[in-house]
Amino acid sequence: MKVLINLISGQTIPNLIAQKYINPDKVILLYSKGSIKQKEAYKTVCENVYFEEHEIDPYNFENISNLLSHLIQKYKSDEIVINFTCGTKIMSIASFEVFKNKGLVSLYIDSENSRIYVFSGSQIITESINIDITLEEHLKLNGHVYKINSVAILNEEKKEFIDYLENNFNQSIGKFLSSINDKYKLNKEEFYKNEYNLKTDNLSYSWDNKHECSVVEINGKKFVIHGKDSVKYVTGLWFEDLVYYKIFMDNKYYTDVKRNVHIKDRTGKQDMIELDIIGLYKNNFHLFELKSGKPTREALNNLRTIKEQLGTYTKLFLVSYYDLENDPLNERMQDLGIEYYKYSDFTLDKCFKNKNINL
C-alpha cells in the first residue's frame, strides 16, 4: 500500500496537496502539542483515509529521526513517502535526512508558486501543482466555523434596478439609501410594522407590508423589489450583485468563487464575519470587499483582521463605486495591503497584470 507521512504545523494546505498528489492508503501524522488543532482540522477534509498519529517533541532531532527510522522499518514492504514541507525546521531537516539516507522519496510543496519538488536519492524532479483545493476545504483546514449562503438568482426586477444604478448612482442617491438603512437597523420590527416611507424632491422609498416589497422611485423611475430582505438589497446588496454578476460569473482566473460567506471570529470578540466575495487562485484566497459608498476606517481595519484569520497568503481587494484615489483612506489602504479599484475601472485582468498576485 501507499503510505504518506505528513508533518503538522500552522499551515496544513501543503499536507492536503501532498495527500491528493500521492493518493495514499494511509496517512501518518507527526504533530506536537502545539499543533493538535491543526491536526484535527486537517483530518476533517480527508475522506476514506486511514490515519496513524504520533505526538513528538518538535525540537528533538534524535527522537524524530529514530521515530522515522522505526516507521520506515514498519512499512518496509510498502511504498512510503514523506512530505517535509511543514513542521518545525528540525522536523523538516530530520525527515529529509532520514529519507535521503534510506534512498526513499521526499516531497516539498511550494504552494505559493504551485510547484512540487520530488527528491529521490540524488535526483530532484519539479512538477507543477495541478491540484485544486475547494474553498470549503480551505476554510476547514484553517479551523473555521463557516456558512456559505445560497446566492439568489438575479431576477428581472433586481436586474433592472442594478442596471439603472450602475450608470446613475451618485452621492445624493447614496445618502438617501443610507438613511433608509439607518432607520431599518434602528428598529427592524417597527420598520415593517409601520410601513416605513421616506421622500425627498426626486427620491422616494416605501415598504409595502401587504405585498412584502420595497418600492423605490428615483427621478420618476419606479422600481419594485420583492422579499423581506429587499430593504437590504436596495440599500447595499445591489452593488454586490452588480460586481458579482458582471465581473465574476465568467472569470478565467479563479477555480472557485463564493459570495456572502460568513466565518466565525476566532477571537470570539464578535459575531460571524461577512465576506463579500472570495476567489481561489492557485490554492490561495483572494478576498474582495465591495462598497457602494465610502468605506470607514473601521471597515478597512476589519478587512485586515479577516486576512490574518484566513491565512498569510490572502490577498485583499476593495472595490468602491466612488473614486477614492485622492481620499485620505487611500493611504490607509496601502498601509494595510489592500488593493483598491474604482468600480468603473475594475477588471480582473488589472488585478493579475504584471504582478505576483500572491505576494
Structural domains in the chain plus CATH codes? 2-131 (3.40.50.10770), 132-359 (3.40.1350.10)
Instruction: Categorize the per-residue pLDDT at 51 as very low, low, confident or very high, splitting at 50, 70 and 90.
Output: very high
Q: What's the pLDDT score for residue 359?
A: 40
Coil, helix or strand at residue 226: strand
Half-sphere CA count of 182, side-chain side, radius 13 A:
7
Report the greatest alpha carbon distance in the chain: 84
User: Residue range 52-64: average pLDDT?
Assistant: 96
High-pLDDT (> 90) share of the chain, %: 53
Residue 154's Cβ-count burial label (10 Å; 0-12, 13-18, 19+) is middle
Q: Is there a contact between 229 and 239 (Cβ–Cβ < 8 Å)?
A: no
Say how many residues make up the chain: 359
77-125 pLDDT, tens digit per residue, is 999 999 999 999 999 999 999 999 999 999 999 977 789 999 998 899 9
Q: What's the pLDDT score for residue 268?
A: 52
Q: What's the pLDDT score for residue 327?
A: 84
Buried b (16+ CB within 10 A) or exposed e, 94-120: bbbbbbeeeebbbbbbebeebebeebe
DSSP state of 9: S
Strands 203-208, 221-226: pairing is unpaired
287-346 pLDDT, tens digit per residue, is 999 999 888 888 888 787 777 767 667 889 999 998 887 888 888 888 888 999 999 999
Lowest mean pLDDT among 17-31, 161-175, 262-276, 310-324: 262-276
Say yes or no to pLDDT of 265 above 80: no
Better pLDDT: 273 or 140: 140
User: Residue range 253-279: average pLDDT?
Assistant: 77
| Phi, psi angle pair for 106, to nearest 5° | -125, 150
